[in-house]
Amino acid sequence: MYSLTATERTAKGKSLAALRNNGQLPAVIYGPHRKDAKAICVDAKTFAGVWKKAGESSLITLDIDGEKPTKVLVHDVALDPVKDTPVHVDFYEMDLKKPVTLDIPIHFVGESHAEKVLGGVLLKQVHEVEISSLPDRIPHNITVDVSVLKEFHDHITLGQLELSEGVTLTGEPETVVVLVDPPRTEAEMASLDTEAVVDLESIKREGDDKPKDEEDTTEETE
């Protein structure tokens, strides 16, 4: 179980810069048991480590000064456009008695015989799935073992995924998650190259037909 310690904050607006410079990350917590969102802050480095492991699909125990520890999910993280580091986070307080629906990432493991030995092409069609479960049963990810794919066109569907007790999928069971295609022949590869050239020529022709007033008139400056 992941955990974070938070403190209530009064800093807002321009005052948040000083808070961040001091290693703190502004945040809010809201949910069905709160009338209004509460402004808090957490240690930025600690949050980064927890977020990396928990993601947005694992429960976190949030201990706020003066309150009983509560279970939350990371609902949204705003990132600095230059540094790509968190500058604000939204925590959603969970009602542990009510099921939730959310997207869970798929974690592919193993090696496919059809790919490794027969030279096939492994095609991952789905990278996350929507599930429904009680908050304390939300899986961090769903593991898919591709070693069961022995021959070309072997595949795994949503209905074949192994789920923990109390977790259900909301998608169509027949949806293909991953499959193995035979390797393309030289003729097929040549055909793909030809199609790419044709597409490129089409783009060039469309550019030639472009009205003069739509062309780039940017002048070079020293």
CATH of the domain at 153: 2.170.120.20
The single-letter DSSP state of residue 205 is H
- Which residue is listed with tokens 């410079």? 21
Do 83 and 105 belong together in one domain?
Answer: no
143: domain range? 100-181
Give domain status of residue 186, yes or no: no
| Predicted TM-score (pTM) of this structure | 0.72
**137 within some domain:** yes
Q: How many domains, the chain?
A: 2
Q: Once rounded to an integer, what is the mean pLDDT over residues 38-53?
A: 95
Pairing verdict, β 100-109 and 142-145: parallel
Same domain? 8 vs 84? yes
In 125-201 the beta strands, taken as DSSP E runs, fall at 128-133, 142-145, 155-157, 168-169, 176-181
- pLDDT tens digits, 130-144: 999 999 899 989 999
Task: Find the farthest-apart pair of alpha carbons in the chain and give their distance in angstroms, rounded.
Answer: 70
In a domain, 70, yes or no: yes
Does the pLDDT of residue 186 top 50, yes or no?
A: yes
